[in-house]
Structure 1
Amino acid sequence: MACEVTIKTKNIKSTYFQTPTIVYTLHYSYFSKMNTRNILLVNPWIADFAAYDLWAKPLGLLYIGKFFRNYGYDIRLIDLTDRQRWGDGKSSTPINNRGKYHKTNISKPAAVAHVPRQYGLYGATVEQFISELKSIEVPKLILVTSHISYWYPGVSETVKILRDFFPESKIVLGGTYATLYPNHARQTIQPNYLIGGYGEKQSLQLADSLFGFTRDYSAVPNTLDSGILPWDLYPDLTVAPLLTSRGCPMHCDYCATPFLNPHFSQRTPEDVINEIVFLSKERNVGEFAFYDDALFANKTYHIIPILKSIIKHKIRATFQTPNGLFARDIDSELAQLMKESGFKTIRLSLESIIPEIQTASTNKVSGHNFECALDRLEFAGFQRKDIETYLIMGLPGQKYSDIEITLRYVFEQGAMSRLASFTPIPNTRYWDLAKNSGHVWDDMDPLLTNNTLYPCATTDFPVEKFTELRQLSNRLNAKVKNET
């Protein structure tokens, strides 16, 4: 006769919020049996003042999952930010592929208590999370990823519930936050293990040691980029993000990609198109989002063959580009292929028209490059008012006039501006500049780098001025929409 133990968890202690009373029953197997190859992958809650889903999925975690499957492990995924799975908390109708997450209001952490906005966890409710945990076998190993560093309270809350529910399971933390702030992550999240950088081979070696397996690691690659990701982990899949490359050939002074992904590599066009065809034909996915940092790099041998194959296979889908595209790489052929293959959301990286900031951006685009790209995209059939342009504001030493001039320049070209607030990131040149000016320090709470706070604001360039610039951007964008 199976032994059952009923555990009542009341008001789980938390720095950020308290869960409702939860009662769940665990079978005796909870204490005595674990699937010998069972690994749980978890994409945690987002914790912030605002969050918006732009076709996102935890690609790094899915690559880890593919790697583990390839070496004989059973994997399961709980993605707490999967809007198709959990809903948005407002409607029972099908969820659009992008939009607002369900928000659970929680108390603001002390470091940002002064911000006059409501803080929250974004994604599944606590009850939904607990219900999902009740439905699965006890994992011996749990891999939790992390994304933007100042979202870490969401990671913390996720891990607390995992540890409360599966006290015997080992928890591994990886991802961006774990890589950029390893000491803070160890102290705050207190995982059993922390893995920084590329996590595939490191995670496999750790898992093998815990499960008692041995293998020849000299034959194991550091990563496994080829092949289709384990999309079966998402029963309801209507949109799929794509990563056709890792890293970036550019080394912008404010970007951590060279540290997080030090080697730029691209999948073969054949491998990418196989994944797109599979998702389109077998899973009926009608929308894709390219998440590359440098999608158009080596375009003749990469993106151009990919787009030609999409057209050849008659893939009926739309393609989004939430990350900025390199305008200088857009020639007439590429612009036409983008239109014919189904590109919809186009966002170009300009950052600034000011020479000093363009230099900090590795001179990846000039005003001339930008104007030529707009001309070619328009000739191919895109409307300028539908093309968004990423501009950066809040850099150390950046002037109000620098941003205003760039906003008006984009407006004169008939395109839309999209202001991106600068966040200081460790292991970048601009982190060092911000540190030298006293805006950041080595052991600071990552919450203080939240772009909502404008970390590099000064008495000469206060937060109110950033608000003015956003208002100016909104007014100019409204004119672009109405005049074209």
Structure 2
Amino acid sequence: MARPTFPNIPWSSLPDRDDGPRVLGINPWITDFAAFNVWSRPAGLLACLDMLRNAGASVALLDCLDPTWAPAPELGLKWPKPGKYGTGHYHKEEIEPPAPLAFMDRRYSRYGLPRDRVVEALAALDPAPDAVMVTTIMTYWYPGALDILDICAELWPDTPRFLGGTYATLCGEHAAKHADAHLQQGPLENSANWANFCDLINFNQAQPTENSGLSLALDLYSDPAFSIILGSRGCPFACEYCASRALYPHFRQGTADAVMETVRSEHARGVRDFAFYDDALLVNPGRWLWPVLDEIAGAGPDIRLHTPNAMHVRHLTPEVCGRLKAAGLTTVRLGLETTDFDHRHDVKLTREQWEAGARNLLEAGFDLDDIGVYILFGLPGQDLGNVEQAVRHVRSFGFRPHLAHYTPIPGSPMFDAACAASPYPLADEPLFQNNSIWPCVPGGFNWEDARRWKSILHGE
């Protein structure tokens, strides 16, 4: 199905169940110094829209990070050509940075659909929504969410507005002060959250079904260049720099049948690139992952799988690597953090496990170009000499190192240490949690060091 002509935002409901409320979901723009689309989808918002539609609501989606409409250069609707696997650059417009970030010597932009086109499309939405749900993927991207909420308040002043996602959940006090919306903190499928939401929009419905939170309304994208696979929510581990448990306290896994139903449906719509969104993909793989990989492997070679979230290296046995390769895994991302194996902040990994996992990937037939390794940069008190050592270690295997710039996240075990190490009031202003400013690196971001690290990554 091709992208519709602007400004259409269609409502979607289940057959014979269109008498419920109309709920509009919005994924706002990114406002930042840099942004790149790495199979980005607002999974939490899509889960909410799916469970609401299953309960009888009509739903619609405006994702400001998706092209959405057919190109119309005369209307400012241009979008950079995507890469071969669906990733790529966003349309962007340079804007003034928020006052707290005015000290940065970097351009600040709004990434996504042109703002005036979004306003026009929302104004043309007919019938108007009975409720609006706005998500936030990163805490420091909240300016885009507040802007969208203000637009919706002006268009539909009496319509309930809800703000959910990472910012609303982890920075609740700040969000309550600045957002003109009800806060949706934590998963909607939580019984108290569901009851409160339904009460506020006068929607008398029973608790969501068992698969709620794992089933996504991916069909709301009319012409997707890629799709995502979500077999689990949360994570059983508790890495010091991660807030997964604060966002999703319980690790839940779905079923192979439900995951494959999504894959088949998206494949039938022309999707060939699928990105796993699981934080712990290789944990208990017999629950859903093995059956899914086996069916994909038996279906043919036209599906490409990607793991933008780093896989846990210690689980990469010869069997695991072989099954991933047979199913069409194309983009491999690993989490190393550091080669100082005795002082790690994530799941314990020995040098032997790291070297075995790397060797097993290569023996399974993965090309070196397929494999990238994330190395954490900018942790509070981190010896950056160890980061450089880790980069050179990764390059010695022939893999591509990627610096994963540390983001101080409220709710993570390391956040107090980050607040102590940073010159910025991280707990008071989420804008300072932006990893682009190197918030916990002495002296912060500067172009000379940025160029030096780029040279190190390229082995120069």
Q: Give TM-score scaled by structure 2 length.
A: 0.88
The match for 2:370 is 386
Determine whether 1:277 maps to 2:260.
Answer: no
Determine whether 1:450 maps to 2:434.
Answer: yes
Secondary structure, aligned partner of 1:118:
coil
Q: 1:315 to 1:266 in 2, by over 3 A?
A: farther
The match for 2:340 is 354
Alignment RMSD, CA only?
2.4
The match for 2:353 is 369
- 2:449 and 2:366 map into 1 onto residues whose CA distance is 31
Q: Structure 1: which amino acid aligns with 2:234?
A: G
Secondary structure, aligned partner of 2:441:
coil
Shift of 1:441: 4.2
Q: 1:171 aligns with which of 156, 161, 168?
A: 161
Point out the structure with the larger helix share: 1
Q: Structure 1: which amino acid aligns with 2:378?
A: G
Q: Structure 1: which amino acid aligns with 2:145?
A: V
Q: Structure 2: which amino acid aligns with 1:271?
A: A
**Map 1:109-148 → 2, pairs under 5 A:** 109-136=98-125, 137-148=127-138
Shift of 1:372: 1.5
Q: Does the 8 Å contact 1:105/1:119 carry over to 2?
A: yes
Determine whether 1:46 maps to 2:33.
Answer: no
Number of aligned residue pairs: give it: 435
Q: Does the 8 Å contact 1:198/1:223 carry over to 2?
A: no
Q: 1:343 aligns with which of 308, 316, 329?
A: 329
Secondary structure, aligned partner of 1:319:
strand
Q: Structure 1: which amino acid aligns with 2:152?
A: L
- 2:391 and 2:426 map into 1 onto residues whose CA distance is 33
Q: 2:149 aligns with which of 137, 159, 178?
A: 159
- 1:410 and 1:166 map into 2 onto residues whose CA distance is 53
Secondary structure, aligned partner of 2:329:
coil
Shift of 1:221: 5.4
Cα-to-partner distance string for 1:180-219 (whole Å, 9 max, x where unaligned): 101111112221x1011112355542443244343455xx
Secondary structure, aligned partner of 2:411:
coil
Q: 1:98 to 1:62 in 2, by over 3 A?
A: same
**Map 1:307-322 → 2, pairs under 5 A:** 307-314=293-300, 316-322=302-308
Cα-to-partner distance string for 1:314-350 (whole Å, 9 max, x where unaligned): 3621111111011111111221222221111111111
Which is bigger in relative contact order (C-alpha 8 A, separation at least 6)?
A: 2
Indicate the structure (1 or 2) with the bigger Cα radius of gyration.
Answer: 1
- 1:406 and 1:468 map into 2 onto residues whose CA distance is 18
Q: Does the 8 Å contact 1:225/1:267 carry over to 2?
A: no
**Map 1:61-460 → 2, pairs under 5 A:** 61-83=45-67, 85=69, 95-96=82-83, 97-136=86-125, 137-191=127-181, 193-201=182-190, 202=192, 204-217=194-207, 220=208, 224-225=212-213, 227=215, 229-280=216-267, 282-314=268-300, 316-358=302-344, 360-363=345-348, 365-437=349-421, 439=423, 441=425, 443-458=427-442
Q: Does the 8 Å contact 1:200/1:223 carry over to 2?
A: no
Structure 2: gaps of 5 or more residues: 1-18
Q: Does the 8 Å contact 1:353/1:366 carry over to 2?
A: no
Structure 1: gaps of 5 or more residues: 1-34, 479-484
Q: 2:456 aligns with which of 473, 476, 481?
A: 473
Q: Does the 8 Å contact 1:422/1:454 carry over to 2?
A: yes
Q: 1:69 to 1:84 in 2, by over 3 A?
A: closer
Shift of 1:92: 6.9
Q: Structure 2: which amino acid aligns with 1:245?
A: S
Q: Give TM-score scaled by structure 1 length.
A: 0.84
- 1:429 and 1:178 map into 2 onto residues whose CA distance is 19
Question: Percent of aligned positions with the same letter in both sequences?
Answer: 32
Secondary structure, aligned partner of 1:99:
coil
- 2:142 and 2:446 map into 1 onto residues whose CA distance is 24
Cα-to-partner distance string for 1:275-319 (whole Å, 9 max, x where unaligned): 112211x21211101111111111244322221111123362111
